[in-house]
């Protein structure tokens, strides 16, 4: 009798949890983790392009050592920063974004250096690397958008009733979004 009662309890509990959104929450949580992995993937692609870009520019601009050092240091900092997809807090995501922004700034300084070397700007290897880097920046934007969409769907789902009860019971928490960097709302000032 006790054994059959236990089996009935397990079966009924299984039906209740499958119908209450738990499985959907698990699927949506995995979708957020997958989208995050893709964000990290495209950032890694950018980091992998940088050593080749730096080496190409070094051949033309050997006296720009400080710029090269900054790019290499920023790359090291950006690639050392990881965020656990299970713990996508606003603070963790902000630290990740700051490390990536440091690398973006260093790359922008490198591109300013490139402008001083017409032979380098005509070098096919450099042009190919620059095109790959631009394409990667576009991919980063797309993957960040997909991540935010997956996160928005997940966050909305776990906050709806009655799913929010199951979310609280099983520890499903809101995930952070990528947000614009401070000051991004202002258009850059161009002076001639």
Residue for token digits 């690639």? 79
Residue for token digits 């909305």? 156
Burial (Cβ within 10 Å: 0-12, 13-18, ≥19) of residue 39: buried
Task: Please determine, for residue 73, whether its predicted confidence score (pLDDT) is greater than 70.
Answer: yes
What is the C-alpha separation between 130 and 66, in angstroms, rounded?
20
- pTM of the predicted model over 0.85: no
Q: Name, in order, each residue with C-beta under 8 angstroms of 40's C-beta and a sequence gap of 6 or more.
A: 82, 83
Q: Find the Cα–Cα–Cα–Cα dihedral 165, 167, 171, 175, rounded to 10°.
A: -140
Domains of the chain: 14-79+88-170 (1.20.1440.20)
The per-residue pLDDT for range 26-67, each reduced to its tens digit, is 999 999 989 999 998 998 888 888 888 888 787 777 767 777
Cβ proximity of 66 and 45 under 8 Å: no
Name the residue among 66, 78, 46 with its Cα closest to residue 58.
66
Look at residue 18 in the predicted model and tell me its pLDDT.
55
What is the C-alpha separation between 101 and 114, in angstroms, rounded?
20
With cut-offs at 50, 70 and 90, classify the pLDDT of residue 84. Answer: confident
> Please, what is the end-to-end C-alpha distance for the chain in angstroms?
88
């Amino acid at each position: 009798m006790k054994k059959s009662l236990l089996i009935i309890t397990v079966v009924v509990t299984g039906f209740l949890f499958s119908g209450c959104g738990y499985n959907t929450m698990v699927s949506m949580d995995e979708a957020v983790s997958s989208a995050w992995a893709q964000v990290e993937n495209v950032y890694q692609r950018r980091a992998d392009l940088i050593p080749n870009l730096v080496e190409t520019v070094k051949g033309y601009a050997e006296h720009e050592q400080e710029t090269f050092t900054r790019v290499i240091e920023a790359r090291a900092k950006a690639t050392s920063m990881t965020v656990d997809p299970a713990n996508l807090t606003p603070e963790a995501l902000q630290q990740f974004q700051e490390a990536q922004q440091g690398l973006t700034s260093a790359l922008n300084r490198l591109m300013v250096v490139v402008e001083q070397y017409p032979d380098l700007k005509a070098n096919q290897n450099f042009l190919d690397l620059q095109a790959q880097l631009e394409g990667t920046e576009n991919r980063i934007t797309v993957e960040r958008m997909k991540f935010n969409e997956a996160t928005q769907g997940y966050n909305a789902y776990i906050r709806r009733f009655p799913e929010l009860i199951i979310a609280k019971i099983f520890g499903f928490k809101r995930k952070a979004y990528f947000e614009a960097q401070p000051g991004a709302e202002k258009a850059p000032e161009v002076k001639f």
